Amino acid sequence: MENDSYIVIEGVHKNPNNIDTIDENTKKIHGPFDQKKANDFAKGLIQKNIDNFYHRAWVVKEGLKIDDICEECKKEDESVKQNLIMHSYKICNSCNLAKRIFPL
Ligand SMILES: [Zn+2]
């Protein structure tokens, strides 16, 4: 049983691959849900807005501050946010790579 809770953030973006470019006027936050429900909800939102290229929904772990600080090396890196969005894990690309090469 997964106890972590996740929120879904949807909105229109200047750059749909970058959560930082979300238009605050269109931003809506849903949840918290468990991870499966959050993913399903985000998928539903994306399907509903499939005609709008700039609309995106993100699944973010609740309580995690969205910043660029890697939890492994505590360094600031712009890859941290992208990894957080993709894997719900605050890690920079170099730590992520090190983890993949030397799995714990
Ligand atoms: Zn790191």
Give dist(CA 6, CA 100) in Å, integer.
Answer: 24
| Ligand 1 centre distance from Cα of residue 81 (Å) | 12
My answer on whether 52 and 9 are in the same domain is yes
The pTM of the full predicted model, rounded to 2 decimals, is: 0.71
Question: What is the per-residue pLDDT across 32-67, written as a single tens digit (0 to 9) for each?
Answer: 999 999 999 999 999 999 999 999 999 988 877 778
| Ligand 1 centre distance from Cα of residue 87 (Å) | 14
Residue 18 has pLDDT above 90, yes or no: no
Residue 104 has pLDDT above 60, yes or no: no
| Ligand 1 centre distance from Cα of residue 73 (Å) | 4
My answer on whether 57 and 86 are in the same domain is no
| Ligand 1 centre distance from Cα of residue 91 (Å) | 5
Amino acid present at 80:
V
Domain containing 51: what range?
A: 1-63
The number of domains in the chain is 2
Q: Which residue has the higher pLDDT, 41 or 86?
A: 41
